[in-house]
Structures are given as C-alpha cells and as structure tokens.
Amino acid sequence: MREFRGFSIDDFSEITYAMVKPDAMCLFDEICQDIERRGFEVLFWQVYQLSRDLAECFYSEHKDKDFYNRLISQMTADPAGILILEKKGTVPCFQVWRGTIGSTNPEFATEGTLRHFYSQKLFGGAEAYKKGEATNCFHGSDSVASVIRESNLVLYNIMMNS
C-alpha cells in the first residue's frame, strides 16, 4: 500500500469504497490479494467494528426492507474490512468494482465474480444466503455520490474512534 494522499472530486472516478463483510473476514488477506490480482490497488484498509448507529446510518436506504434488521445484526456482529480501492480506466472504478463483486444475491452472481467464488468457498453456495445463514460477503458503492458519502461516513468514524 502506498502512502496516503488527499483526493479531489476528479479522483472519485478512479477510486471506490468497498467493504468485506464480517462473514468473510476469516479470508480477509486472501480476499485483498484476490482484489489486487484483479487490477485494483488497495489505497487504504482498516479492520473496523461498525457500531449499530453507524450501520443503521450506512444502510438507511434499506430501513423499510425485510432484510434490514438481519443486515444490521450481521454487519455489527464482528469487524468488517474497510477498503478504498483505485483502478484507473475509462469506466468509473465503482462500476468496475460492482462488476467484479457480482450480483447482490450470490445465487445470481456470475461465475468468476467475488460473490460467486466466496459464497461457494465460505458457505457452500447461495443456499446459505437464501436461508439467512450468510451475507453476500462484499459491499460496493453504487455511484460516485455513494463513494463520497460512504467513505466519508465510515472514515470519519474510524478517525473519531482511534
């Protein structure tokens, strides 16, 4: 990992916020190596325990969905891996990352994506996700606005609790 530098708004097409969810943290080092093999540079990483308040704020857009309480419980049960990734190219980094992790539901994640591979490796496949016994292992921001919001929210909490 190279020395941290500040970012301007123009950099946000080349960086993204990513998270390895607690259920996959037992393979965090392997996952980071896999991410780098796929052409991303890890600019920042931190293993961090999300508080309930932080998780609720982070996932506030899902508050009225059936899976919300289970998601908050899973995200606060153990530490998560917080990542800032960089990948230069013509396609915004967040889009490349979301393609790399695959469909939110591992049942529909294409072979070769991180969600497909790690749901198989960690849980035996998508059945565990359908039964509520596993998460989809990864978070990926869905827009530049989300990259800014999510990274600011979590990195601020890390800084304030250090």
All structural domains of the chain with their residue ranges: 10-101+135-160
Give the pLDDT score at 6.
Answer: 61
pLDDT band at 9 (very low <50, low <70, confident <90, very high): low
Is residue 7's pLDDT more than 90?
A: no
Fold of 10-101+135-160: Alpha-Beta Plaits (3.30.70)
Is residue 1's pLDDT more than 70?
A: no
For residue 80, what is the DSSP state? E
Give the pLDDT score at 133.
Answer: 81
123, amino acid identity: F
| Strand pairing category for 80-86 and 138-140 | unpaired
Strands (E), the chain: 15-20, 41-48, 80-86, 138-140
100-116 pLDDT, tens digit per residue, is 999 998 889 999 999 99
Give the pLDDT score at 13.
Answer: 85
State yes or no: is 116 an active-site residue. no
Catalytic residue among 21, 87, 116, 139: 139
Average pLDDT on 151-160 reads 90
Give the pLDDT score at 134.
Answer: 81
Round to the nearest angstrom and report the end-to-end CA distance of the chain.
20
Give the pLDDT score at 125.
Answer: 85
Give one DSSP letter per residue of 19-33, joined into a string. Answer: EE-GGGGGGHHHHHH
pTM, to two decimals? 0.91
Q: What whole-number distance in Å separates Cα of residue 146 and Cα of residue 99? A: 16
Is residue 97's pLDDT more than 60?
A: yes
